């Protein structure tokens, strides 16, 4: 069984090594001192992205007990096309991303539309550390200790109308900060857009992510706020979000628009449906040599399979 109760999870099982604990304790103490005694700290912490501890993080019952990938793995090997199409460019080029001030506009089919400051949004609900698998369509995977809260917490507060059938996420479009958006060849149609069906967005596994390893999100991982949908391929979890819109019709996501033959709306991890150019039946965990069998819904079938009851998952990929 991959999902465990909070009482079953030892802290030592969801940390990478003792160094992480020592560093986290140091940063928490330093942050507390700064917050208490240094004017302007709150607005200036974006100068050191990924190095500020998030407060009052509780354990989550949704964590896997699989070994974590290291902070280095997670922050230096990722997909973030706004900063380049290879896996290493985001770590190098995202350093200049300015994550404060930052607002997220919530609009569309809701009774209470609102524009949130990201720091206001962080305080909306208790933060949890959730150890989730991340599976990418290129057949590689990681295990990451995300920090966030259920997306449903935000959804309930803005009160969607009966016409809201989908949730659309739009990410930052700023070619000055994001050199990948200036690319002429092989680029997407910016800004990056993703979407979920309403029942998917309301599922407790879908979270708004604000950090990892107990700290604010590093820039290469989608700072300052992103979606994390662990049973879908990684590109479905939009990064650096600036707008959330509730709509009646299914949004056309960026990869679906760029290549509908290869990328569908749902993007559920399904080892029985191959990408046209490679198999999805196996994956390589970053840091491991041998491949492993890909799990249906990325190992979360027990929790989410009912969302797709009666659907042809070969057709709705």
CATH code of the domain containing 87: 3.90.420.10
Q: Could you give the CA distance from residue 96 to residue 91 in angstroms, rounded to a whole number?
A: 10
Give this prediction's pTM: 0.84
- Would 18 be classed as within a structural domain? yes
- Would 315 be classed as within a structural domain? no
**What is the token pair recorded at 193?**
């857009």
- Would 1 be classed as within a structural domain? no
- Would 109 be classed as within a structural domain? yes
| Reported confidence tier of residue 51, pLDDT bands at 50, 70, 90 | confident
pLDDT: which is higher, 146 or 278: 146
CB atoms within 10 A of CB 18: 9
Q: Could you give the CA distance from residue 237 to residue 23 in angstroms, rounded to a whole number?
A: 28
As for how many domains the chain has, the answer is: 1
- Would 316 be classed as within a structural domain? no
Q: Could you give the CA distance from residue 31 to residue 47 in angstroms, rounded to a whole number?
A: 13
Q: Tens digits of per-residue pLDDT, 115-169?
A: 999 999 999 999 999 999 999 999 999 999 999 999 999 999 999 999 999 999 9
**What is the token pair recorded at 91?**
């770590």
Q: Quick one: pLDDT at residue 204?
A: 98
Could you tell me the residue range of the domain that residue 255 belongs to? Answer: 6-308
Residue 23 has pLDDT above 80, yes or no: no
Query: Among positive and negative, which fits the CA dihedral 86, 91, 92, 97?
Result: positive
| Backbone φ and ψ of 157, nearest 5° | -75, -30
Residue 180 has pLDDT above 90, yes or no: yes
């Amino acid at each position: 069984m991959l999902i465990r109760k909070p009482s079953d999870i030892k802290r030592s099982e969801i940390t990478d090594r003792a160094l992480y604990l020592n560093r986290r304790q140091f940063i928490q103490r330093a942050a507390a001192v700064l917050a208490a005694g240094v004017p302007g700290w709150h607005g200036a912490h974006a100068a050191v992205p990924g190095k500020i501890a998030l407060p009052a993080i509780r354990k989550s019952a949704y964590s896997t007990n699989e070994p974590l990938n290291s902070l280095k793995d997670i922050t230096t090997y990722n997909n973030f096309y706004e900063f380049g199409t290879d896996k290493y460019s985001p770590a190098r080029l995202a350093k200049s991303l300015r994550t404060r001030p930052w607002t997220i506009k919530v609009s569309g089919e809701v009774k209470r539309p609102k524009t949130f400051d990201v720091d206001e949004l962080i305080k909306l609900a208790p933060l949890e550390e959730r150890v989730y698998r991340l599976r990418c369509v290129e057949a590689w995977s990681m295990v990451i200790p995300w920090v966030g809260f259920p997306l449903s917490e935000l959804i309930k507060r803005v009160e969607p109308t009966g016409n809201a059938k989908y949730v659309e996420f739009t990410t930052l479009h700023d070619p000055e900060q994001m050199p990948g958006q200036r690319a002429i060849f092989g680029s997407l149609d910016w800004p990056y857009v993703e979407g979920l069906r309403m029942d998917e967005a309301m599922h407790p596994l879908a979270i708004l992510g604000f950090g990892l390893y107990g700290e604010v999100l590093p820039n290469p991982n989608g700072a300052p706020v992103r979606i994390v949908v662990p049973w879908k391929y990684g590109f479905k979890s939009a990064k650096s979000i600036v707008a959330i819109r509730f709509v009646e019709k299914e949004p056309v996501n960026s990869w679906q628009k760029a290549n509908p033959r290869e990328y569908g709306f749902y993007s559920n991890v399904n080892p029985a449906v191959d990408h046209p150019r490679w198999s999805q039946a196996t994956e390589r965990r970053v840091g491991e040599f041998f491949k492993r069998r890909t799990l249906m819904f990325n190992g979360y079938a027990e929790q989410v399979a009912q969302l797709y009851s009666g659907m042809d998952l070969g057709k709705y990929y």
